Structures are given as structure tokens and as C-alpha cells.
Amino acid sequence: MSSEKSGVHKLLAEGPKAINLGLEEFAEALATQGVKVVHVDWSPPPPEAQELSDLLDKLL
Amino acid sequence: MFRVCLVHKRRYFDSMFLMQVSQRLRGEPGIGEAAVLMGTPANVRILKDLGFSGPELDTAGPDDLVVAVAGESEALVRQALAKLEEWLVSGRAAVPGAPKTLVQALSQLPEANIAVISLPGWHAGREAKIALEHGLNVFLFSSNVPLEEEIALKRLAQEKGLLVMGPDCGTAIIAGVGLGFANAVRRGPVGLIAASGTGAQEFTSLIHRAGSGISHAIGTGSRDFSDAVGGLTALSALAALTEDPATEVIVFLTKPPGAETLARLISQVKRSKKPVVACFLGVIPEKVRREWPGKLVTTVDEAVAAALELLGLPKPPFLAYDPSELAELAADEGKKLSPRQRFVRGIFSGGTFCYQAQLLFHNARVPFRSNVPLLEEYALLNPLSSEGHTLLDMGDEFFTQGRLHPMIDPTLRRERILAEAKDPEVAVLLLDFVLGYNASPDPVGDLLPALRTAQEEARKRGEEILVVASVCGTEADLQGYAHQVDQLEDVGALVFPTQAQAVQFVLALVRGRR
């Protein structure tokens, strides 16, 4: 349980270090607050990849 | 008029960028109508309503970019399209080596502890799951994530000891860092767990302005306190804040929870070593009042006062107002109105502000209409046309489809102010202004020309429209609290230190004119 709990506790204790997906402005606002942030140049996954991932979700 | 509608298969840009690009395109020579959107069913409908059609538009899917332009000639439209392509390529040009996936980003920032996700709803859940599987907490701004997916994500988070803030989470502050739409506030002993975004912004700003501070403000998303979700995030947040050494008082800020969720919260609150205040914005059944094991209040102001009291801090002057003074001020201001000016028109950008205003009107037994009614009996038939006292949430989907939120884009609020000013029965324009990260750089400045025009319009009739406002934010916000208030006062607006007080003032005015 201790390792399971550490995710939330680490976030609150250390503050956010973020990966941003979507609005780039959110990453910029974090950077201006001195937060370490990496913005993902995201694009929709190809339909086949999504189908495969959905299938895996069902199987696993 | 030459019209063109093009579909770029599987080309994604975020909505904020596309709105800016669309606006720029409309300013090009000879261009009448222009929209650059992702091809969601709602957006395709918007384009069809604008008169665009064609077989290509029918093939557009939500991952496709749709460009629709109407101009005076084919040459001018082609010229504008060429410019658009330049903007699309240069405007969101990825930094060389920028990661293309969350997993790639993790290799660049292995110490990351949170994923901030504002992708379209139909992709957001999948990425949130990947984030959780890699040990990241999630701030999920996206709305339109299916309920089943929300529940599955929150269960997974619980198993892994992580937090999912959202979906539909507008605001959080973690260890002094604002996520999404948040205000710059001091760190301090008050921990917040909030389902509502602007409610959290008002609460955290007022705590700051009262001289105290926020340890963490954890957003839950709008559905978390429903029995369908069962408060999964709220309960994890409560456990985390109970153990957090920086937090001394914990406050819940939400519409009243579902009955089963409430029972779970009560049982955990009873075990909490720290005092817990519940601010349940809504009509509270007597049973809930009886059962809640701590302080229970129904407005943001009361929640701030309760938290400060528990910390042994004095009530700040801005909360210690005298209702009789408010009534006196209302009587004075009421003298400026003509007998036919009877109605209040609340034009809000913040959902909680519209909701709280409705609650206070309801408690004062003053009937009103709203596009997001507190109770069915208050429903506004046509959101575009006010009736009697009307309290509008301009951030509701009806208004924001294909547009940016009114906290960023003032266009619709501006238009509505001008429309209301033409109605000779309107006495008061009741407005909120939300400052903070990611909001407009000058929310008051955006609406000043419209407010001046509205006042001139009324003066031409020999009347005066009262502008009653509240500003949500702090001096540490980029927009500057005092500067925003000054601009409002320069046009004669009555600015109250909290939104609840602005509404109470308006109600005093209404009562005095019955």
C-alpha cells in the first residue's frame, strides 16, 4: 500500500512536474510558474492502433 | 460569394488555436465567413447552419480538420487559404524533438508526476489511462468523457494510489501551482476539494485576500459527487489532505452530493483528524443538515468565513458587511431607476456564479429564469431571449459550441450586454469577471466598450442602467485585481468584493422596488 499511496503524496509534497497533452497554453502557464513541463505534440492515433488498443483492453 | 469547404483527414489542432486562426481568417480581405474546426458532429452541424455543404463535409470525422471559407471571389478565398496553411504550419510548430506521445514525454521528464490533459473527450480517457498506468496523477480538463470511462479511470487511480482530477475539471492548485483556470494565491493551511471550477477560484481567491492561503485545491470534476461515481476522487482527496502536513482545515465545495456518496463522505469525515467544512451549493434537505458531522454552509462566502474561523482568524472586513448598509445603498441606487426598469440580467462567465446567484434568488423567493436552471420551474425557454429576471451561464454548451469559453472570448457576453441594454425594462446588468492563469489578459477591458455603449443607450432614453459586478481573483494574478476593479469603477459600476455580496445587493434593490 505504501508504494501505491506514494503517487498522490509525492504530488502534494513535491508539487506538479507535468506532461501536457492538448491546449499548449496550459503548458505555457505552468512554465511561467516555474514548473517543469513537457508538452506533447499530440495527434490522434491511427484508427487501427485505437482498435487494437480497445481489443487489448477487452482481452486483458 | 465563393464558398469552399475542405477536409484534411487526421490532422489535429487544439480548439483554442483553431479559434484564433478562424478569427484571423475572418479578418482577411474579402472574406465573409470562415471557420476552421475539428470535424465533430456538433461542428459539422455548425458549418451546415452557416450554409456550407458538400460531400466532403459529410465524410468529416472528429479527428479531421475542416476548413470552411466564404469570400467575395475565388481568388480572395484561395489567397486566404494559402495564408491559413502558413499559420497552421508555423503557429503550432512543434519544438524539434518534441515528444509525440505521453510515453515519449516521460523519457524526457522521468520525474513527471502528473499528466495535464485537455484533448477532445473521445481521446482524453485513453491518454488518462496510459498516464495512470505509468504512475502519473491526472488533471483531466476535457469534458465529454463517458461516465463509464470516468468510473474506470477513478477505480484504476484508487488501486494505484493516484488522483484523477476530472473529467471536466477546470481548476486545481497543487502546492502553490495553478492548473487550468486558477488564480495566483498564497500557500497556507486551507485545503479545498471542489467539484466546481469557478467556485474553487472564488474560494481560493477570497482566502488569499483574507490574508490566509491554500495548501492544495483538488478538483474532482463535475460528476464526482454523484452516486454514479460515488465520490471516488473526493474520498481519495480527503484521505490525502487529512495526512498532508500543510493542511489544517479541509473544505468541500460542491452541489449537494448523492445520498450514497454523502453517507460515504460522512463516515470518512467522522474519522478525519482535521475539521471539515461542507459548502453544498444547492437546496439542502434537512436530513443532510442534521447528519453532516461538521460545519455546513451554502455560499462560497460562508465557506471562507467558516474556514477562517476554524483557523482562529478574524473575519476579514470584506466579509463582515452589514445587511442594513447594503439595503441603504440599494435604496439610494434604486432612485436612479425609472419605474419601468424592473429586471436584473445576470450575464455570467463562471458556472458557479450563475448557480450561486440562482440559489440566492431562490432563497429570497425572487422568481427568475435561467438557461441552466437550479429547478425546472426556473427554466428559460430560449437562451437567446431573456424573460423577467434572467441569470445566464454564458459558459454553457449552448453558447460555447464552436467557440472559446467566455472567460477567454468576450464576444458573446459583449453582444448580450448590448442586447439587454436595448430592453427598457432592464434595471441591472449583473456581471462576473474571472482573472487568473489562462483567462483573458484583461477581462474587464474586454467588456468596457460594451458597458459604455449600454449606458449611452439607456441615457438616450433618459434612463440609467446599473452595472453591478464582482471580480474573482487576486492582486498576484497577471490581470491585477485592483486594476480590474478600477476600470469597472471608472464606468460607474458598483463592484462588490465577492459575488455573493453582489447578488445580495441586487436582491436588496429588487426587494426595495416591489
Kindly provide the ipTM of the predicted complex, given to two decimals: 0.91
* Long-range contacts of residues B334-342, Cβ cutoff 8 Å, at least 24 apart: B334/B509, B334/B512, B334/B513, B336/B464, B336/B466, B337/B427, B337/B463, B337/B464, B337/B466, B337/B513, B338/B462, B338/B463, B340/B424, B340/B425, B341/B424, B341/B425, B341/B426, B341/B427, B341/B463, B341/B465, B342/B425, B342/B427, B342/B513
Which of B11, B105, B175 lies nearest to residue A15, judging by beta carbons? B175
Between CA B75 and CA B484 the distance in angstroms is 44
CB atoms < 10 A from the CB of A27, how many? 21
Contacts of A38 in chain B (CB under 8 A): 99, 105, 108-109, 112
- In whole numbers, what is the pLDDT of chain A averaged over residues? 83
Average pLDDT over every residue of A34-50: 86
Q: Which of A11, A35, A54 to mutate to test the interface with B (most CBs of B within 10 A)?
A: A11
pLDDT bin (cut points 50, 70, 90) of residue A1 is very low
Between CA B402 and CA B35 the distance in angstroms is 9
Mind listing the pLDDT tens digit for each residue in A18-40?
999 999 999 999 999 999 999 99
For residue B165, the chain A residue with the least C-alpha distance is A8
Average pLDDT over every residue of B322-342: 93
Q: Residue B274 corresponds to which amino acid?
A: K
The grid cell for B128 is 488518462
Which of A6, A12, A36 lies nearest to residue B174, judging by beta carbons? A12
Q: Residue B469 corresponds to which amino acid?
A: A
pLDDT bin (cut points 50, 70, 90) of residue B54 is confident
Interface membership of A60 toward B (CB under 8 Å): no
For residue A4, the chain B residue with the least C-alpha distance is B161
Is the CB of A4 less than 8 angstroms away from the CB of B159? yes
- In whole numbers, what is the pLDDT of chain B averaged over residues? 94
Average pLDDT over every residue of B130-148: 96
CA dihedral B473, B474, B475, B478 (to 10 degrees): -50
Of residues B82, B99, B103, the one with CA closest to residue B29 = B82
Of residues B119, B104, B115, the one with CA closest to residue B172 = B115
For residue A11, the chain B residue with the least C-alpha distance is B113
pLDDT bin (cut points 50, 70, 90) of residue A2 is very low
Mind listing the pLDDT tens digit for each residue in B213-252?
999 999 999 999 999 999 999 999 999 999 999 999 999 9
For residue A6, the chain B residue with the least C-alpha distance is B161
Is the CB of A25 less than 8 angstroms away from the CB of B438? yes
Mind listing the pLDDT tens digit for each residue in B262-301?
999 999 999 999 999 999 998 888 888 899 999 999 999 9
The grid cell for B104 is 515519449
The grid cell for B46 is 455548425
For residue A27, the chain B residue with the least C-alpha distance is B116
Mind listing the pLDDT tens digit for each residue in B366-421?
999 999 999 999 999 999 999 999 999 999 988 887 678 899 989 899 999 999 99
CB atoms < 10 A from the CB of B398, how many? 13
Interface membership of B9 toward A (CB under 8 Å): no
Between CA B364 and CA B352 the distance in angstroms is 18
- State how beta strands B171-174 and B177-180 pair: antiparallel
Nearest-Cα distance to chain A for B407, in Å, is 14
Give the pLDDT of residue B451: 98
Nearest-Cα distance to chain A for B159, in Å, is 7
Give the pLDDT of residue A44: 87
Q: What percent of chain B has pLDDT over 70?
A: 99
- Distances B270 to B118, B195, B264 between C-alpha atoms, Å: 35, 21, 10
Q: Which of B113, B164, B179 to mutate to test the interface with A (most CBs of A within 10 A)?
A: B113
> At residue B155, does pLDDT exceed 70?
yes
- Regarding predicted confidence, which is higher, B47 or B179? B179
Give the pLDDT of residue B19: 87
- Distances B411 to A29, B109, B395, B446 between C-alpha atoms, Å: 23, 39, 12, 9
Burial category of B414 from C-beta neighbours within 10 Å (exposed 0-12, middle 13-18, buried 19 and up): buried
**From the DSSP assignment, how many helices (H) and strands (E) are in chain A?**
3, 2
Of residues B161, B331, B313, the one with CA closest to residue B233 = B161
Average pLDDT over every residue of A2-28: 87
Give the pLDDT of residue B27: 92
Is the CB of A26 less than 8 angstroms away from the CB of B141? yes
Cis amide linkage into residue B367, ω under 30° from 0: no
For residue B164, the chain A residue with the least C-alpha distance is A8
The grid cell for B152 is 474506470
Nearest-Cα distance to chain A for B100, in Å, is 5
Mind listing the pLDDT tens digit for each residue in B63-77?
899 999 999 999 999
Give the pLDDT of residue A3: 43
Average pLDDT over every residue of B346-360: 97
Contacts of A31 in chain B (CB under 8 A): none
Which of B131, B139, B163 lies nearest to residue A8, judging by beta carbons? B163
Give the pLDDT of residue B323: 85
pLDDT bin (cut points 50, 70, 90) of residue A4 is very low
Average pLDDT over every residue of A40-53: 78
pLDDT bin (cut points 50, 70, 90) of residue B434 is very high
Instruction: Identify whether the C-beta of residue B233 lies closer than 8 Å to the C-beta of residue B261.
Output: no
Of residues B41, B43, B42, B23, the one with CA closest to residue B33 = B23
